[in-house]
Amino acid sequence: MAVDPDLLIAQTDTIRSALKALDRTGSGIVLLLDGEDRFVRTVTDGDLRRLILAGSELDDSLRALPEWDSLTVDSAVSEHEAIALMDRRRVDHLPVLDAGRRVVALMDRRAFGSRIELSTPHMGLAERQYVDEAFETNWIAPLGPNVDAFEREIAEYVGSPHAAALSSGTAALHLGLRLLDVVAGDKVFCSSFTFIASASPIVYQGAEPVFLDADRISWNMCPLALERAFETARREGWMPKAVVVVNLYGQSADYDRLIEICDKYGVPILEDAAESLGARYKSTPSGRFGRLAAFSFNGNKIITTSGGGMLVSDDGDAIARARYLSTQARQPAPHYEHTEIGYNYRMSNILAGVGRGQLEVLDDRVASRRAVFDRYRERLSTLPGLDWMPEPDWSFSTRWLSTLTLDPMRQKLPLDTIRGRLAEDLIETRPLWKPMHLQPVFAGTRYITAGTSSVSDDLFANGLCLPSGSNLTDGDLDRICDAIVRIAG
Ligand SMILES: *Cc1c(COP(=O)(O)O)cnc(C)c1O
C-alpha cells in the first residue's frame, strides 16, 4: 500500500502542476507536503477550482490553499476501521501518517471494501446458450434435451455408464439409500467428518447412522475405524445396510482399503462425491467407487446449476428406478397409476442447461482451485503453525476448498481470533465441518474411532477453510495473504 510519488506535491509547486498530477494519477486526490515533507492537507480538483474562481492564477503556488484539517489515520488502523471511518466522514481516501506526520500510505476505498466470500458461483460462456435454447424450444418444464444431455455428459466425464439428474445432492443420496434398500430400523455407517446432508437421508429412511472417524492422511473415512466398526457389529450380531463414504473438500477417500473391508462383509458403499467432482483416486475419477455415487451442483460447489445433483452407477436398472422414484413413482398409465411412494426430485431442463455449460469448464475450475491452494501454501509458507490439508500420493484433489489446521503449539493466536480479524477485513473464512457425532441433533448416536483419540474432533477444533473460489483474482489472493500475514505472522 505504498504511496505513488505522483500523489505527493509540495506547497511551493504550482496550481498547474497539481492539476497535472490529478490528471496523471486519476486518483481524485493529491497530498500536499510542507518543506520538511510533512503532510499538510489533501487537495482535490474542487479545491483547485475554488482557488482559481477566487482569483488565483495557474502558475501561483499552492500556498494560497486555505488551511484544512484533513482526516488522517496512523498505520495501526485496520481495514475495517478505515472503511467505517470513510463511511462516517464521507471520504474515499485516508492518508496514513507516521509519528512525524510523513505519509506512509494512502488508503483508497476502491482498493478494498468488496467482501471476499468462501466459494461463489463462477459461470462460463456456454451456460446461457443452453438455457436460451431451452426457452426458445419451450423446454422449461422438468425433463427435456438438456437433462438427457447433461446426464450423458456427466456419465462420460466420470466414466460411469448411467446417471440420473436430480434436484440436489441430498436427493441423490436419499435415492441412493432407497435403492440400497435402507429401511426403518436399519443401521448405516457414515463418515462423521462431513456436511449434514451425508447423514440426513439416513434419518429420512428411518434408519440409524453410526458415525466413523476420519484418518489424518486424507481427512476421510479411516479404514481402521471401518474395520473396527464391522468387527463391533459382528460381535453384537448386526450388520449395517450400507456405508456412506464421503470425499471431503475435493479429495477422495482411500477406496482400495475401504472397498476391501466392505467387500469382506458384503456391504455396499454409497459414495458421497458431492464435493469431489473432478477429483481422482489412483487415476480413477471420483464417483466410480460406490455401488452408487452422488454429486451436488449446489451454488458453492466446484460447478453449479444453482441447485442440483446427480446419481451415477454401473447399474442401469438402479438408475432407471432412480428416475422413476424421482418423478413421483408414476406407472406408465394415462391416469398416473401408483404402486409405491416416490419423490419430486428431478432436475429441470433449464438448470440442466446451466450444468452443461459448467461441465465444459470443470477442468479449468479444478486447475484454478488447485492454483489458489498452491498460492496460499507458497505465500504463507513462512507463517508458524499452519498445516495444509494433505494430499496423499494416490489422490488428485480438486482442492474444492483450501483448508488447513493450526498447530496451537506453534501458532499462538487462537483460530477464532484469526477468523474474527479476517472478517473485519471483509474476508470470509469458516471452521472445518463440525463432525456429525458432535452435532446436537445426533446426540447419543454411536461414533467409532480407530484408536482412543478422535481425528475429526481435532480437525474441527483447529481447522480453517479459506476463500477458494475459482473466480478469485490475483488481487483478492494478495489481499487475503497480506491480511493473514499481518494477523498471524
Ligand atoms: C453439498 C453437499 C451435499 C448435499 O448437496 P446439495 O446439492 O446441497 O443437496 C452432500 N454431501 C456433502 C459432503 C456436501 O458437501
Q: Ligand 1 mean position to 130 CA, how many Å? A: 25
What is the SS3 assignment for 105? strand
Give the global pTM. Answer: 0.80
Nearest to 456 by CA among 247, 103, 192: 192
Which atom of ligand 1 lies at the shortest distance from residue 170's CA? 9
Q: Hey, what's the cell of 379?
A: 505465500
Q: Which residues line ligand 1 (CB under 6 A)?
A: 168-170, 194-195, 197-198, 246, 272, 274-275, 296, 298, 309
Q: Cβ–Cβ contacts within 10 Å for residue 434, how many?
A: 16
Between the CA of 151 and the centroid of ligand 1 the distance, in Å, is 18
User: In the 8-state DSSP scheme, what is residue 432?
Assistant: P
- pLDDT (tens digit, 9 = 90+) per residue, 256-305? 999 999 999 999 999 999 999 999 999 999 999 999 999 999 999 999 99
Give residue 387's pLDDT. 96
φ/ψ of residue 246, rounded to 5: -100, 140
Reported as a pLDDT band with limits 50, 70 and 90, residue 6 is: confident
Residue whose CA lies nearest to ligand 1 atom number 10? 197
pLDDT at 457: 98
Give me ligand 1 centre to Cα 287, in Å. 14
Could you tell me the distance, in angstroms and rounded to a whole number, from the CA of residue 113 to the centre of ligand 1? 31
The tens digit of pLDDT for each residue in 300-323 reads 999 999 999 999 999 999 999 999
How far is ligand 1, taken at its centre, from the CA of residue 223, in Å?
23
Reply yes or no on whether the pLDDT at 356 is more than 90: yes
CA distance 245 to 253: 7
- For every residue of 437-476, DSSP letters joined together read GGSGGGTT--EE-SSSS-HHHHHHHHEEEE---TT--HHH
CA distances to 309, 402, 481 from 382, in Å: 40, 17, 12
Instruction: Report which ligand 1 atom has the smallest distance to the Cα of 173.
Output: 10
Q: Where are the beta strands (DSSP E) in 170-288?
A: 187-191, 208-212, 242-246, 269-272, 280-281, 284-285
Counting from 1 in the atom list of ligand 1, the atom nearest the Cα of 301 is: 1
Q: How many residues does the chain have?
A: 489
pLDDT over 80 (residue 1): no
* Strands 242-246 and 402-406, bridge-based pairing: unpaired
Q: How many CB atoms lie within 10 A of CB 330?
A: 14
Among 221, 271, 275, say which to mutate for ligand 1: greatest number of ligand atoms within 8 Å of CB.
Answer: 275
